Amino acid sequence: MKNLKKVGLSALAGSLVAFSANAVEMSVSGTAEVTYTTVGGSGSAAGSSTGNPFGANNSVKFSGSGDVGIGTATIVRTINDAIGTNWLSAYMTLDMGSMGKLSLDSVGGDLEGVGPKDDNLPTAYEEVWTGVSSSGISGAASNDTLGYSNTFAGVTLSLAQQRGGSAGSADGGSDGVGTTQHVTDYHITAAVPMVEGLTLQYGKSTIDFMAANANDDVYHIGHILYSNGPVSVGYRMGTFEDGTDDSNGHEMEAYAIAFNVNDELSVSFATQDKLYDDPSGTDVTETSDAVNASYTMGAMTFRGTIGESDSTGGVTGVTDEHMELSMILSF
């Protein structure tokens, strides 16, 4: 009987050791943020300037990863008090080393393709268009999006595809955006070997509406980025070709410069021009400018942005103004 107990205990101990050796590594992190926001001008931002200017935003992120033989699998779930019981982000990845990385982005991860790279200009906090305009670029939405990325000789390729549909799938899965459209993205990032600190980027997103005689919506985005010590500069250009309405097309270009004063303080400035094409009338250029700053003290960061736009949305005489202060604690 004693021998049986010894054998049983030895087997249990061996199982626990084996389980521990293959256990998934879990981690928990999060943020707690307080913001103060004011808006002005004559555009849509000013029209929404009612209510309390103070806001709170808290999130908790759960992540786990482990070796699955062909690579490292990672699963991430983030909850946020601003969206109730829904996930702020939910995605899975499989990193296969030199064979690349696969991903399934269920909600909000913005992992691959054009969407998460619509504006890569250097900034101390927010993008130039935050609160007063838009990036003007769209890609595969982060809802049930398949992604793949890999790096070859200094060039990174990022692919994403989102398959649309009008109803949920038979196995109970979601159809993503719930519309009859397919979105296909590719994005390329290349470091220029002859010039240290210089990076070139280009991406394209195509929305196929799958209806008879329906033309595709197409987005193009490109960046030229350069960093040298504490200074980073960038140029961004993009176009939108509306397959159903030529009057909705637009072109944009933006410039930005950011400076790290020291390890704690960063400042930046950016400007963007967006040309709204009007085949039947006069083209209108919307201009946006923004100043950003951030200061970090340990786990606490203070951030601020002041932005404004003229001819907002391609409408002459319409203006928007946006100011936001943020205090965020990371843990």
Q: What is the pLDDT of residue 175?
A: 41
- pTM attached to this predicted model: 0.83
Model confidence over 157-187: pLDDT tens digits?
Answer: 999 988 764 334 433 344 444 456 788 899 9
Q: How far apart are CA 243 and CA 265, in angstroms?
A: 44
Task: Using the CB atoms, write b or e for 67-102: b if 16+ within 10 Å.
Answer: eeeebebbbbbbbbeeeeeebbbbbbbbbeeeebbb
Q: Look at residue 167 in the predicted model and tell me its pLDDT.
A: 38
Question: Tens of pLDDT along 277-307?
Answer: 877 778 889 999 999 999 999 999 999 999 9
Between 321 and 209, where is the model more confident?
321
Choice between 122 and 108, residue whose per-residue pLDDT is larger: 122
Domain 27-330 has CATH 1.10.10.10: no
pLDDT in tens, 220-249: 999 999 999 999 999 999 998 887 766 567
* Helix or strand holding residue 9 (H, E): helix 2-21
Q: Would you list the domain boundaries of the chain?
A: 27-330
Mean pLDDT of 19-29: 71
